[in-house]
Chain A
Amino acid sequence: MSVRMGLLALLSEQPMYGAQLKHQFETRTGGTVELNIGQVYTTLARLERDGLVQPGAQPDAQGRIAYALTEAGHTEVQTWWSTPVQRSCISRDELEIKLALALANQPREAMGHLLDAQRGACMTHLQNLHAASRQCRAGASETSLGGDLADPVSRRALLLTLDHMIFSAEAEVKWIDHVQTQLRTPPALTAETTPAAQPEVTR
């Protein structure tokens, strides 16, 4: 979905051919997304099928065909900008599943170690993201960032993604703290864990 809409949004700026779209998509997302060219053409084919883009009548001097948005394509992009992205409530996160199962499956002490180790891992992740973000901010003049990130638009996009990851990682550390605090306050939790353990016994 994000690739499809991303390509449409780029084409709303100007008609482009495949390689151009790939390059623009990668640069403008700060190098966080890598597309392969086959994927670009497959998506363009679908968009054409759906009447959202149309290929130019004439190839350019190098034989490349630029794609442009149709009227319906422009409408689609406008709708995308004006509609909030809906977050799913369906959790497929391994950590959530692991902790949920550990509640009844692991002895309390082991659960404590598990949470400590997980907090450490999440914190390392957060430190790494933070260091990367500082490096990215400071690296305006540094060549070490190379290629795409020399471009300010690209760098800003990368920072946006890093900040998103930082906020998520921060929330995860806080969530682990919260789980641990709840585990350490006996009344509420013993009341809940005891019945949870019972069905297993009867089975």
Chain B
Amino acid sequence: MSQSNPCTPPARQPELVMTHVSKAFGHDATMVRAVDEVSLAVFSGEMVAVMGASGSGKSTLLNLAGGLERPDRGTISVHGQRIDTAKPAQLAALRRTQVGYVFQYYNLIPSLSAQENVALPLELAGTRGRTARLHAAEMLRLVGMDQHCARFPDELSGGQQQRVAIARALVGPRTLLLADEPTAALDSHIGQEILELIRQRCDQGAAALVVTHEPRNAAWADRVIFLRDGAVTDSSTASADLESLLASIRSGGGDSSSGTSGTSEPTAAGAGEPA
């Protein structure tokens, strides 16, 4: 944040800032602190995964970030705008233009075709119909659904509906992507392709917050935060590149996981092979 050193690269833009955010449900004895004093910033270009057991507050955290829930305490800003105090109309406008939301359940509009569903947020944001439909078709192609543009949600499988929902979340210049178990309904191959799309968006400058309980999905993220009982217990940041990883594989050390059996064998093979 400091501007004192002219040599430091320009500070990245925080797309989402949550400060001491708490949210509880229920009253008194039955009260559940779904999110408890969480502070979190997600920057442009960054993909952050939220992991935790079910009931740990992951989805509530995401709903708070998307303005679907209001916090009891704390502040939340998206793209520099406070959303915890925003009026419903402001919030709706911000969600239409800046935030792409992928729900666990697809929430497609049944009376609209796949292409119309994807074009809708663009049209609501003021894009002309024809242009919006062209963008929508392109986005559907990127999620492998170009064959199904004219289909209605009830003519699509669960996995196909989720891909349409993801296309809808990614279409247009969204700066913040929020996804709640986006691959739950997909087979693992398509699931990984969807995550790759989210990853690409981040590499192009978007910010993403992805809730998942799958380590494989979280591995796409730059940073993983762990939630338990609504509070952050730990976080993990990717730290190695291919070259340093290769160096540690070759030297057979620096890796404590059990997954590397075989790589350290060469040193042993020279010593004592039974006759």
Contacts and interface: CB of A to CB of B under 8 A. Distances in A.
B259 A164 contact: yes
A130 B196 CA distance: 12
A124 B218 CA distance: 10
Contacts of B257: 95, 122, 125, 165, 168-169, 172
B239 A124 contact: yes
Given A1-B265, A35-B266, A95-B256, A128 B240 contact: yes
A133 to B, nearest CB: 8
Contacts of B219: 123, 126-127, 129-130, 166, 170
Interface stretch (B34-42, B158-166, B245-253): B245-253
Interface in A146-171: 158, 161, 164-171
A118 to B, nearest CB: 10
Contact of A2 (B220, B246, B251, B265): B265
B208 interface: no
A92 to B, nearest CB: 9
Given A1-B265, A1-B269, A119-B226, A168 B246 contact: no
A111 B111 CA distance: 53
Contacts of A72: none
B157 interface: no
Interface stretch (A11-19, A37-45, A56-64, A186-194): A37-45
Interface in B13-59: 51, 53
B242 A135 contact: yes
* Residues of A in contact with B, size category: 35 or more
Interface string B196-232: 0001000000000000000110111110101000000
Contacts of B53: 177, 181
A165 B219 CA distance: 13
B176 to A, nearest CB: 21
Interface stretch (A26-34, A74-82, A101-109, A195-203): A26-34
Nearest to A87: B261
B187 interface: no
Contacts of B218: 123, 126-127
For the complex of A and B, the 7 pairs showing the least CB-CB separation, nearest first, are: A168-B259, A130-B219, A127-B238, A173-B215, A128-B240, A132-B242, A123-B236
Given A36-B266, A39-B266, A170-B219, 5 more contacts: A95-B256, A116-B234, A127-B222, A136-B242, A177-B53
